[in-house]
Amino acid sequence: MIDNNIIKLFDLTNIEKVDDNSYIGYSNMTNKWYGWNNDGWCKCSTKDKAISFAKSECW
Mean pLDDT calculated for residue range 37-57 = 90
* Whether the predicted pLDDT of 58 surpasses 60: no
* Whether the predicted pLDDT of 59 surpasses 50: no
Domains identified in the chain, total number: 1
What are the pLDDT digits (tens) for 25-37?
Answer: 999 999 999 999 9
Q: Give this prediction's pTM.
A: 0.82
Domain range holding 13?
A: 4-55
Mean pLDDT calculated for residue range 36-43 = 88
Identify the helix (H) or strand (E) that includes residue 34. Answer: strand 32-37
Instruction: Please report which confidence band the pLDDT of residue 57 belongs to, taking 50, 70 and 90 as the band edges.
Output: low
CA 16 from chain centre, in angstroms, equals 8
